[in-house]
Amino acid sequence: MNNSLNKKLIEISIKSGYKTEVVESYMARNNLLPKDFKFRRSALDLLLKDCNKKISDFVKDTYQDKEHKNKLAQISKILNPKPNAPKYFTENDLANDLAHWFNSFCNTSELIAPNFFVGETIQISVIGSLYGNGQIGLNKGKDLYKINIHPKYGNCQAIESKIGSTRGLMRLFIPKKTIERNADNRFSIAQDKKSKIIWFGYLEPQSNGRYNILDKSYSTGKTIGTLVENIHLSWSAEIKAAYYPTIYNS
């Protein structure tokens, strides 16, 4: 469904007596609205500050002298958008040029991709932290926070490692209320039904329906020890991904 048809449906619905927010909410829930690929000005402001540059520096370094005035005007329209305004220099054009410019001089920890400036901003909750005993402490109050993530992990939650060797590593999982069979014989998180303790480790199912949670080496796959054994689980969830987040990508 294209953008113009979406807008027409919204206009007709509003004229029929429905409130704008009701119509848009319904269409969003049913995946009838286009994905938002606006330019992320906050991303540009972050890099300009980190690299001690101004947008005028970008224009001078990237375009010919005769283009400067026009480019500044085009960029201003992107950074301060007006509904339905025509564009001859798009968000994607600006994102590509900015990525090339920043990568040519800015000493960041990694290359800046064009999609750092455009696209969806998906955030997920960091619900707890992993400690050296294999147990996960849940975040509460001011300790609750969110991280940016690739849209394909939008249904996940995250656990942050507080262990020295992996400090800051985020492990992603899809929250569950039951035992996930895909979590068996894999690195997963799980809750002990009796103690309510949430564990991270290698889930080893037993013939009696209970579980051992093992401490295994990522390097060799060998068992280092047993964190807890012969427990009933309330739920379990397989680790879908693990990565170190940065401010420059998700």
The residue-averaged pLDDT of 244-249 equals 69
**Six-digit token string for 32:** 């009838």
pLDDT score of 197: 98
Specify whether 213 is located in the same domain as 156.
yes
Specify whether 95 is located in the same domain as 168.
no
Specify whether 14 is located in the same domain as 46.
no
Task: Tell me how many domains the chain contains.
Answer: 3
pLDDT score of 119: 66
Specify whether 110 is located in the same domain as 198.
no
- Identify the residue with better confidence: 147 or 206: 206
Distance CA 73, CA 86 (A): 13
Judged by average pLDDT, the poorest of 140-149, 226-235, 240-249 is 240-249
pLDDT score of 121: 61
Say yes or no to pLDDT of 41 above 50.
yes
Per-residue CA distances from 83 to 7, 39, 78 (Å): 12, 14, 11
pLDDT in tens, 180-196: 999 999 999 999 999 99
**Is 248 part of any domain?**
no
In this structure, which amino acid lies at residue 103? N
pLDDT in tens, 87-119: 778 888 999 999 999 999 887 666 787 878 886
Specify whether 11 is located in the same domain as 108.
no
- Identify the residue with better confidence: 177 or 37: 177
pTM for this prediction: 0.62
Specify whether 134 is located in the same domain as 229.
yes
Mean residue pLDDT across the chain: 84
The residue from 59, 88, 116 where one domain ends is 116
**Share above pLDDT 70 across residues of the chain, in percent, rounded to a whole number:** 81
pLDDT in tens, 44-55: 998 899 889 999
Domain that holds residue 155: 123-243
> Phi/psi at 88 (nearest 5 deg)?
-110, -15
In order, the DSSP letters of 140-199 are: -GGG-EEEEE-GGGTT-EEEEE-SGGGTT-EEEE---SS--GGGTTSEEEEEETTT--EE
Say yes or no to pLDDT of 132 above 70.
yes
Q: How many helices (H) and strands (E) does the chain have?
A: 6, 10
What is the distance of C-alpha 27 from the center of its chain?
23
Say yes or no to pLDDT of 1 above 50.
no
pLDDT score of 7: 54
Distance CA 205, CA 1 (A): 47
**Is 250 part of any domain?**
no
In this structure, which amino acid lies at residue 197? I
- Identify the residue with better confidence: 23 or 153: 153
In this structure, which amino acid lies at residue 175? P
**Is 170 part of any domain?**
yes
pLDDT in tens, 21-37: 555 454 444 444 444 55
The residue from 58, 90, 116 where one domain ends is 116
pLDDT score of 171: 96
pLDDT score of 223: 95
